[in-house]
Amino acid sequence: MGLEKIKEEILQKAAAGEKKILADAAIKAGEIKKKTAEKIKQLENDVEKKFDEEKTSLENKENSLANIESNKIIFETKKDIIENTYKEAFQKIKTMTKKEREQIIHALLEKAKKEITVKVVYANDTDAALIGNSLEIKKAEIDGGIICETEDGRVRVNHTFSEIFENLKEKIMQKTSKISFG
């Protein structure tokens, strides 16, 4: 019966070895499951973080576009107001009294004299009558104001009402644009 005892001993060692191998495998499987769960959790966190970043980025873009559109609408409204104000002011200049018009024409002439040596003045019929006889006056088809020229005709200074208003309107539009759009 010695053989039977050896057989039983071998079977016991095999069973013990099998239990150890299965226990080690169970431990390794548990570690793998734990690491896999951690990786899945990390991936979920990364995806959630990326989603939040993309969402925030998209919201920021939408807000920026809305702000730009809002600024554009405000700018266009201001532009319309400036245009209407310009037209009203230009109409008022056309209907001012003779005395007011004469003061403005003389002020424009003095301004031109500070810029160039004025020899010739271009003006419409109404304003030409207000200038006097000390300068050569030539008739011009302008809404009002004057264009002054040097004796040799090489330099002109445009102080017509339309030019003054256009320059003023342009400056106001630039300031408005700068305020509206930075």
Spell 60-86 as b/e; 16+ CB within 10 A means b: eeeeeeeeeeeeeeebeebbeeeeeee
Residues 176, 75 contacting (CB under 8 angstroms)? yes
Instruction: Tell me if the pTM is above 0.85.
Output: no
Task: Say if CB 177 and CB 74 are below 8 A apart.
Answer: no
Separation CA 147–CA 124 (nearest Å)? 10
Residue 128 in contact with residue 147, Cβ under 8 Å? Answer: no
In this structure, what DSSP letter does residue 152 have? Answer: T
Per-residue pLDDT tens, the chain, 182 aa: give them. Answer: 577 888 788 778 877 778 888 888 888 988 889 998 899 999 999 999 999 999 999 999 999 999 889 888 988 888 888 888 888 888 888 788 989 999 999 999 999 999 999 999 999 999 998 887 888 999 999 989 999 999 998 999 999 999 998 898 888 888 877 876 66
